[in-house]
């Protein structure tokens, strides 16, 4: 088993924070070793210092991506914090239908992990607009820093156990059973979600237009307060007036600092008044 000195831990942790915002306290030493030791052995590194030097000197970025694939926590599941999806369906989508005059809905799922959240939003939009004129653009953007989870999201394949929390009519309408025994999101729903790699620590967000709703749930829990505050400011800039920000119910944003108005646990709005 590879061990890590305090200095090596601090070096790795400060690199990870600078690059990806993820804040690893000293208590996470065992977690860092657990997630990386196999990679170090495979690559033949005897110490974390050697591994660190390799990561920072690899200008292709491949080593850094391999690192974030190991270090990010990607836990997610269908219907997580269901109240948010109900609020989105019952309040946000009708609001957008009534106010987005060019019919181009802009929804961003930031930190989408393996796709459960983004596909759920796509299914809600599909249900809602099924009986409406078909000129609504209901495609949504879903991003994550980890290529590994994005690959899974793009495949749209889930086990029976993973989809069991979904309403039965969604299971039958939007999934097909594969010969492997897995279930795959149907092509129409898949085509509605555009998956891209994107690091939320980028100093500038490259999106041309602002979003009517941003989901950034269970992402900032891994960041420290100043990183969270800075990200919320950037999300605010990218939110349309009257648009919504969803974070998780267990997170909150500093109401003294942000102009977003609190709506309900984990939901905020860019009030234009």
Distance of CA 132 to CAs 102, 114, 135, 136, Å?
Answer: 15, 30, 9, 8
Report the residue number, 175 or 223, with the smaller CB distance to ligand SAM: 223
Of 132 and 196, which has the nearer Cβ to ligand SAM?
196
| CB nearer to ligand SAM: pick between 80 and 89 | 80
Q: Is 141 in the site for ligand SAM (CB under 6 A)?
A: no
The region of 47-55, 73-81, 90-98, 167-175 touching ligand SAM under the rule CB under 6 A is 73-81
In the numeric block, the tokens 């605010």 are attached to 236
- Going from the C-alpha of 130 to that of each of 92, 105, 175, the distances in angstroms are 17, 15, 17
Whether residue 216 contacts residue 247, with contact meaning beta carbons closer than 8 Å, is answered with yes
Site pattern 214..233 for ligand SAM (x: CB under 6 A): ---xxx--x-----------
Is residue 73 a contact residue for ligand SAM (CB under 6 A)?
Answer: yes
Neighbours of 110 (CB within 10 A): 24
Task: Report d(CA 236, CA 244) in Å as an integer.
Answer: 9
Residue 85 or 222 having the CB closest to ligand SAM: 222
**Structure tokens that stand for 273 in this block:** 């008044």
Report the residue number, 73 or 171, with the smaller CB distance to ligand SAM: 73
Nearest to 185 by CA among 262, 103, 119: 119
Residues contributing to the site for ligand SAM (CB under 6 A)? 20-22, 72-76, 80, 111-113, 117, 144-146, 149, 199-201, 217-219, 222, 248
């Amino acid at each position: 088993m590879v061990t890590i000195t305090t200095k090596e831990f601090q070096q790795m942790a400060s690199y990870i924070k600078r690059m990806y915002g993820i804040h690893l306290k000293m208590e996470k030493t065992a977690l860092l070793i657990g997630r990386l030791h196999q990679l170090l052995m495979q690559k033949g590194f005897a110490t974390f210092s050697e591994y660190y030097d390799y990561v920072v000197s690899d200008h292709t970025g491949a080593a850094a991506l391999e690192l974030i694939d190991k270090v990010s926590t990607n836990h997610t599941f269908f219907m997580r914090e269901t109240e948010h999806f109900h609020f989105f369906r019952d309040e946000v989508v009708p609001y957008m239908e009534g106010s987005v005059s060019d019919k181009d809905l802009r929804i961003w799922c930031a930190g989408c992990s393996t796709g459960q959240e983004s596909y759920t939003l796509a299914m809600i939009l599909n249900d809602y607009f099924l009986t409406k004129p078909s000129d609504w653009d209901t495609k949504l953007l879903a991003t994550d820093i980890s290529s590994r989870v994005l690959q899974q999201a793009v495949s749209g394949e889930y086990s029976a156990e993973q989809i069991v929390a979904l309403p039965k009519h969604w299971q039958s309408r939007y999934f097909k059973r594969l010969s492997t025994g897995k279930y795959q999101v149907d092509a129409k729903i898949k085509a509605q979600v555009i998956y891209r790699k994107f690091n939320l620590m980028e100093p500038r967000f490259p999106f041309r237009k602002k979003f009517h709703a941003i989901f950034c749930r269970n992402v900032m829990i891994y960041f420290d307060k100043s990183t969270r505050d800075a990200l919320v400011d950037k999300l605010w800039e990218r939110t349309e007036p009257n648009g919504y920000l969803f974070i998780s119910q267990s997170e909150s944003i500093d109401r003294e600092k942000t102009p977003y108005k609190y709506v309900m646990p984990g939901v905020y709005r860019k009030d234009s008044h």
